[in-house]
Amino acid sequence: MPHQFLKKLPYFKNLILHLETLEHENQQLKAQCELWQQQFKNCDCLPLPPPKLMTRAGGGEDLDHFLGVGRKITWDLKKLLAGINRSFDSFHSLLDFGCGCGRILRFLKLSPEQMLAGTDIDRAAIAWNTQYLGSLAQFQVNHPLPPLAYPDQHFDFIYSISVFTHLPEPMQFLWLAELKRILKPGGIFIATIRHEHSFPLDQPAARTQWQQEGFYYLKGHHTSGLPKYYQAAFHTQAYLQTHWSQYFNLLSIQPRAINNHQDAVICEKPVVQI
C-alpha cells in the first residue's frame, strides 16, 4: 500500500509521525554520540596536576586552558616537524627539556618502542610527574647548570618550550652546548624564543639596547616557585644566526609557531663535527 495513502488513515498517520520523530531523535543521538566519541579521543584520561604546578607551567589554574595549550603546542610541534619532513614517529628517543608538570608530553602518544624523557628544575613538578605520568616518560630533576644525567648522543629529538625565553645569556650558552652533547648527529632540536612584539612597550631604552645587541635579559618577571634567575630573555633572529649557529645548524625560525605566541627555532646537530 502506498506510503502517502497510509498517512491518510488516522492510525497509520500517527504511527508514521511517531516513526519520523524517532528517526529524528535517532539522528540527534548519533550526532551527540559522535561528538562524545571525538571528545573522548581528545581526553587523555590522565591525572591533572595541582593548581600551583599548572600556574608555573602556564600562568593560571584553569584546567581547560592548561590542557588546551598543551594539546595546541603538541599540534604545533607536529606541524613544525612535518615542515622538515619529520614526525614524532621518526624518532627513537625524545627529551622534553623543561617539561614542567607534563603539559605537552602527556599528548605525544608515542609507541612502546620509543623512549621519552622529561627533565626540569622544578622538583615538585618532577615528583608529581614520576608519580602520575611515570608510564609515559622517565623523569629527572636537573640542576640550574649542566650536565644532565644522560650520555653523549642519547636523543634524536629534543624540544624546549618556554625555557630559553627565561635564562640569562651565559646560562643559555652552557645549556646549548649541553643539549648538543646529548643530541645525536643529525638530531633535531626545537626551542622557543619570545616574539619581537612581546617586548614591553614601557621599556623603550631596553628595547633599543636589545635591538642593537641582539639579546636582552629583562628582570622583574619572576615566576613564583621557580629560581630567581628565571626572568625574561629576548633574542633577535640575527643574534640566533650568529650565536646559536655555533652549536647547531639553524634550519628555520618560525614566527609565533608555538601557540601563536612564541617563535620556534628549528635546529639540527651537524652530522660532521667541525
3-state DSSP of the chain = CCHHHHHHCHHHHHHHHHHHHHHHHHHHHHHHHHHHHHHHHHCCCCCCCCHHHHHHHHCCCCHHHHHHHHHHHHHHHHHHHHCCCCCHHHCCEEEEECCCCCCCHHHCCCCCCCEEEEEECCHHHHHHHHHHCCCCCEEEECCCCCCCCCCCCCEEEEEECCCCCCCCHHHHHHHHHHHHHHEEEEEEEEEEEECHHHCCCCCHHHHHHHHHHCEEEECCCCCCCCCCCCCEEEECHHHHHHHHHHCCEEEEEEEEEECCCEEEEEEECCCCCC
Shared domain for 86 and 34, answered yes or no, is no
Please check whether residue 160 is in contact with residue 192, taking contact to mean a CB–CB distance below 8 angstroms.
yes
Question: Which stretch of 8-17, 58-67, 144-153, 212-221 has the lowest confidence by average pLDDT?
Answer: 8-17
Please check whether residue 109 is in contact with residue 171, taking contact to mean a CB–CB distance below 8 angstroms.
no
Owner of C-alpha cell 643559555:
172
Q: What is the pLDDT of residue 37?
A: 62
Q: What phi and psi values does residue 266 have, to the nearest 5 degrees?
A: -100, 120
Q: Which three cell numbers stand for residue 139?
A: 623523569
Shared domain for 14 and 60, answered yes or no, is no
What is the CB neighbour count within 10 angstroms for residue 93?
19
Q: Which three cell numbers stand for residue 239?
A: 643574534
> CA gyration radius for the chain?
25
Please check whether residue 142 is in contact with residue 100, taking contact to mean a CB–CB distance below 8 angstroms.
no
What whole-number percentage of the chain has pLDDT above 90? 71
Structural domain range at position 146: 51-268
- Domain membership of residue 273 (yes or no) is no
Shared domain for 55 and 38, answered yes or no, is no
Residue range 146-169: average pLDDT? Answer: 97
Task: Answer positive or negative: Cα dihedral of 50, 53, 59, 64.
Answer: negative
Shared domain for 167 and 118, answered yes or no, is yes
Please check whether residue 154 is in contact with residue 182, taking contact to mean a CB–CB distance below 8 angstroms.
yes
Q: 147: domain CATH number?
A: 3.40.50.150
- Domain membership of residue 274 (yes or no) is no
Shared domain for 35 and 153, answered yes or no, is no
Shared domain for 30 and 71, answered yes or no, is no
Shared domain for 227 and 252, answered yes or no, is yes
Shared domain for 31 and 79, answered yes or no, is no
Task: Answer positive or negative: Cα dihedral of 77, 83, 86, 89.
Answer: positive
Task: Answer positive or negative: Cα dihedral of 94, 99, 101, 106.
Answer: negative
- The angle, 0 to 180 degrees and rounded to 10, between the axes of the packed helices 63-82 and 51-58 is 40
Shared domain for 195 and 260, answered yes or no, is yes
Is residue 17 very low, low, confident or very high in pLDDT (cuts 50, 70, 90)? Answer: confident
Q: Which of 193, 211, 197, 199 is nearest to 257 (CA)?
A: 193
Is residue 42 very low, low, confident or very high in pLDDT (cuts 50, 70, 90)? Answer: low
Shared domain for 37 and 106, answered yes or no, is no
Is residue 63 very low, low, confident or very high in pLDDT (cuts 50, 70, 90)? Answer: confident
Shared domain for 23 and 97, answered yes or no, is no
Shared domain for 101 and 28, answered yes or no, is no
Number of independent structural domains in the chain: 2
| pTM of the complete model | 0.84
Residue range 106-112: average pLDDT? Answer: 94
